[in-house]
Amino acid sequence: MTKETLHITLSRERLSKTQVDELVSQLENEPDLAPFLFQMILLEDKEGTFNAAWTFDHLMRKKLQNLLPFFETFADRLSELKTESCIRPLAHVCEMVCEAYFKKKDPLFIQNITDEQLEKILTCCFDWLIGPMNMAPKVFSMTSLYYLGLKFPWVHPELKQVLEDTYGSGTMGYKNRAKKTLDKLAKLGI
């Protein structure tokens, strides 16, 4: 697959789940196209579409390590996103990165991600958590922030306060994840 072919495929009408899965199968063996796919997300964000974002999320579920060669760009550009259709899948990618780094302690991620890059993700996650979003980006963000708080201790008390303040207005899914997160924080003595 070439960049041009990928661009044409993503620029058509909304892709079905089957089409995304087929595209991801092709992209799994094309790690050099992952940075281009991320650049397409930045364009889609301005256009209000999300084929690239959806495809990127599904690709990262299978080949998260493909993010590492351009992780600096990823961390730097996350804050530019404005549309929830693009933020939601990337908030999920941030959650997967945090799980790989903190929960799985994957040496590939620990060795290739800097504290500065993690702080950029942390800032975006707090913005998404407290911003006027639907619940999915908030749920992904709270999990990422829980993990990031293991490295940056000031995060946990702030996260606890936000969750306590917003718990009552959340959806069932939000409340469920918030309760689990608050329980984990309590186990840490926060």
Please write down the HEC assignment for all residues of 25-72: HHHCCCHHHHHHHHHHHHHHHHHCCCHHHHHHHHHHHHHHHHHHHHHH
The pLDDT tens digits for 121-140 are 999 999 999 998 888 999 99
**pTM (2 decimals)?**
0.96
Spell out the residues 6+ positions from residue 68 whose beta carbon is closer than 8 angstroms to its own: 108, 109, 112, 113
The pLDDT tens digits for 22-47 are 999 999 999 999 999 999 999 999 98
Q: What is the pLDDT of residue 184?
A: 97
* CATH class of the domain whose range is 3-187: mainly alpha
The pLDDT tens digits for 137-179 are 999 999 999 999 999 999 999 999 999 999 998 899 999 999 9
What residues does each domain of the chain span? 3-187
Written as six digits, the tokens of 88 are 């939601």
